[in-house]
Amino acid sequence: MTASFLEPFTFKNGVTLKNRVMLAPMTNFASKENGEVSQEEIAYYEERSEGVGTVITACANVTADGKGFPGEIGADRDELIDSLSTLAKAIQNKGAKAILQIFHGGRMAPPELLPDHQTVSASAVAPLRDGAMTPRELESSEIESIIKAFGEATRRAMEAGFDGVEIHGANTYLLQQFFSPHSNRRDDQWGGTLEKRMTFPLAVVEEVLNAAKDDSSFIVGYRISPEEMENPGITMEDTLTFVDRLVEEKLDYLHVSVQDFNAGSMRDSEDKASRVQLIQDRVGEKIPVIGVGSLHTPEDVEKAMAGGVPLISLGRELIMEPKWVEKAADNRANEIRTDLSVNDREALVVPEQLWQAIINTPGWFPVREHSKTE
């Protein structure tokens, strides 16, 4: 019997993915300083684009003041379209659909990467992290121009030949900062009530959909983080209300961002229900949900999908095992690597900058200790 994640999936717009496994968006720190993709980065994507149905790229900034990481893909200028096109083709030539994740880092951006070394956000509230800069509150006209920039980045992705874009509304970046009662203390049209905190992310969704309206096959997804630790912070209740609103838009999918598909609430340790499952149960068949998070083996993925999510994205798993899908399809699940050694970088085709982050961040990836002396 074929595993359900190996079956094709067809979106409402008619586009078919050859299977239901996606490469999760993962920043690799390896683009050039001007935002062009590098050869190392292309090789990394090529190595991972044969088995999966879809590759969602690392996040790409839509404006210069939204750059969230060193070595990030740029989608903020027309001169980057050729570079974006090289990336889209590299992925598609290996057989996967290519989706560009587009984002703005807001108050989480490292100031030294920004043109005027000043972060911006919904309100002048610093993130809860040692030494974090207090962002400058965006003016309404600036908010409008960031919304337009998401539309422009979408146009560039289309011109570059991508199959779609994913709006990065998760992981504490600008869209989430507007939705969050922690970072959004405004009392104008962009904040104040739960409803008004949705205004900016929904305006971005509409701008992106509008930019893509002439190509019905172009996929537009939205990524969301269900909760925040902060107080005040985004609660599951807030998120379910937001999700109800998002399903009214013509989005092709909703991608939930969590570290562990099966984990319960980060705000209430008594609440053990999977955040992804709660969202899936809320939306049913209205919009396809992508589940993610610590799904290491084909068995983990099958179990997650049994709850109804039609699509799964794998992040760290595909760094540690670029041939995860091929091995699963070939009945070689026992050969799927679920950890890595410090010496594996070249064999796994991982850019040096990403590799350094992986091996120097304790607890992020399972690194085999004994192998440090191999």
Ligand X SMILES: Cc1cc2nc3c(=O)[nH]c(=O)nc-3n(C[C@H](O)[C@H](O)[C@H](O)COP(=O)(O)O)c2cc1C
- Catalytic positions are 173
Residue 195 CB, shortest distance to ligand X, in Å, is 25
Furthest C-alpha separation in the chain: 59
Whole-angstrom distance, CA of residue 45 vs CA of residue 87: 8
Minimum separation from the CB atom of position 83 to ligand X (A): 17
DSSP H or E run through 275:
helix 275-283
Q: How far is CA 88 from CA 8, 34, 62, 73, 302, in A?
A: 21, 18, 17, 12, 29
Task: Name the residue nearer to ligand X (CB basis): 3 or 350.
Answer: 350
- Region for 346 from its dihedrals, namely left if φ exceeds 0, alpha if ψ lies in -120 to 50, beta otherwise: alpha
Phi-psi category of 294—alpha, beta or left, where left has phi over 0 and alpha has psi -120 to 50? left
Residue 360 CB, nearest distance to ligand X (Å)? 12
- C-alpha span between 97 and 325 (Å, rounded): 15
Which amino acid, residue 29?
F
3-state DSSP: the chain helix, strand, coil percent, rounded to 5?
Answer: 40, 15, 50
SS (H, E, C) 204-242: HHHHHHHHCCCCCCCEEEEEECCCCCCCCCCCHHHHHHH
Question: Which residue type, as a one-letter code, is found at position 102?
Answer: I
Q: Output 33 or 187, the one with its CB closest to ligand X.
A: 33
Query: Is residue 265 within 8 Å of residue 258, measured between CB atoms?
Result: no
Is the Cβ of residue 186 or residue 323 nearer to ligand X in the bound state?
Answer: 323
Identify which of residues 53 and 315 has a Cβ nearer to ligand X in the complex. 315
Say if CB 56 and CB 23 are below 8 A apart.
Answer: yes
CB-nearer residue toward ligand X: 191 or 315:
315
- Residue 191 or 254: the one with the smaller Cβ distance to ligand X is 254
Q: Summarize as ranges the residues that interact with ligand X (CB under 6 A).
A: 24-27, 58-59, 101, 168, 170-171, 223, 257, 259, 292-294, 314-317
CB of 188 to ligand X, least distance (A): 28
DSSP 8-state secondary structure symbol assigned to residue 37: P
Phi/psi for 370 (5° steps) reads -60, -25
Least CB distance to ligand X at residue 258 (A): 7
* Residue nearest ligand X (C-beta atom): 315
Report, in Å, the least distance between residue 64 CB and ligand X: 18
